[in-house]
Structure 1
């Protein structure tokens, strides 16, 4: 059983680093753009909230409780990125003052948008699941792997932000604007490339 758990944990961890899953990475960048290394507790809660959201729909989809249009989900994932970036633009002053209301809003948004991203993960996981093994164990391990991968991605982002802000004396507002603008631009391209258009 432990070997099965470890196998699916690795699959979840490596999936989040797969270039095919760069849209999920982009969402994490946008979601955490307003935070710095000193906000690591808030970021940890934020990423975990996102994991909770996508774990719910991933489980529901895996057990065929919900069904959805794959093309629609491929469109909605970059929409979540774009909305998150726009939210960052409106919260620049709040981000600088580290107001708790922003964190709570981002926390709820992470859970809600996580529901969408969970459906994006589901096709990949369904292709991996064994027919005669413990699906719940595989699902748990996969989600834990994704969570660990996400935390590593965000930690790297916070380190880069610290270097930019402290070593290169970049302004926090400018860092947020550049990161969010880049993510928003890529998300628009992704939306245009979906089958909906």
Structure 2
């Protein structure tokens, strides 16, 4: 019989990797669109910034310190995807390639990941609260930790897949990095725009 910690860690992993709830996956895809596999350290820092953001609001929302209407959270999540993809295309237009990568300042990218992580954390919290059973409040912190670890493992799995695909696309199929960026960003932006229209909260 598996432990409570393992159960919530698996729930976190399954939630981020759930193809039926693909909005979080699309955000990770958009985050990775401008990177080569050789830049995996930069992507790791980016995902860590996102994790810090969503861990904070997941904890605050799960502890009922903050509560944001679910309709707004569900609308803002695809907004973060669309804005990330749009930011990628602005880099495409303004950047100059230098030694195989874009010439760009990445601090803004990290800030976006942190801020957008705050929004995604509220989305995670809705799912997390629905998984809580009555009388489990005493072990809430342990459950939050396990759930966050599961989410992080799921995110890193998605990042690894995207970077491997980027390697195949750019190094084996010789797709220019700018074209790859536009393709992946567009692939994320299209569904995000549809979700924004479907989830308009007014």
Report the TM-score, using the length of structure 2 for normalisation. 0.91
Residue 16 of structure 2: SS of its match in structure 1? Answer: helix
Conserved? CA contact 2:96–2:103, under 8 Å: no
Match of 1:119 in 2: 122
Can you list the C-alpha shifts for 1:22-63, whole angstroms capped at 9, x where unaligned? 000000111110011100111111111101100111001001
Residue 115 of structure 1: SS of its match in structure 2? Answer: helix
- Which residues of 2 match residues 1-197 of structure 1 at below 5 A? 3-92=3-92, 94=95, 96-97=97-98, 98=101, 102-130=105-133, 131-132=135-136, 133-196=138-201
Tell me the distance in 2 between the aligned counterparts of 1:123 and 1:95.
41
Q: Residues 171 and 153 from structure 1, CA distance in 2 versus in 1: closer, same or farther, beyond 3 angstroms?
A: same
Can you list the C-alpha shifts for 1:114-161, whole angstroms capped at 9, x where unaligned? 000011111110111242341001001100110010001011000001
- Residue 5 of structure 1 and its aligned partner are, at CA, apart by 1.5
Conserved? CA contact 1:164–1:170, under 8 Å: yes
- Residue 69 of structure 1 and its aligned partner are, at CA, apart by 1.0
Q: Which has more helix, going by share of residues?
A: 1
- Give the RMSD, CA atoms, in angstroms: 1.7
Q: Residues 139 and 100 from structure 1, CA distance in 2 versus in 1: closer, same or farther, beyond 3 angstroms?
A: farther
Can you list the C-alpha shifts for 1:136-195, whole angstroms capped at 9, x where unaligned? 010011001100100010110000010011111111110000111121111110001115
Residue 68 of structure 2: SS of its match in structure 1? Answer: coil
Gap regions ≥5 residues in structure 2: none
Residue 67 of structure 1: SS of its match in structure 2? Answer: coil
Report the TM-score, using the length of structure 1 for normalisation. 0.93
Can you list the C-alpha shifts for 1:68-93, whole angstroms capped at 9, x where unaligned? 11111111111101110110011125
Tell me the distance in 2 between the aligned counterparts of 1:95 and 1:25.
28
Number of aligned residue pairs: 196
Tell me the distance in 1 between the aligned counterparts of 2:151 and 2:96.
27
- Residue 99 of structure 1 and its aligned partner are, at CA, apart by 6.2
Residue 34 of structure 1: SS of its match in structure 2? Answer: coil
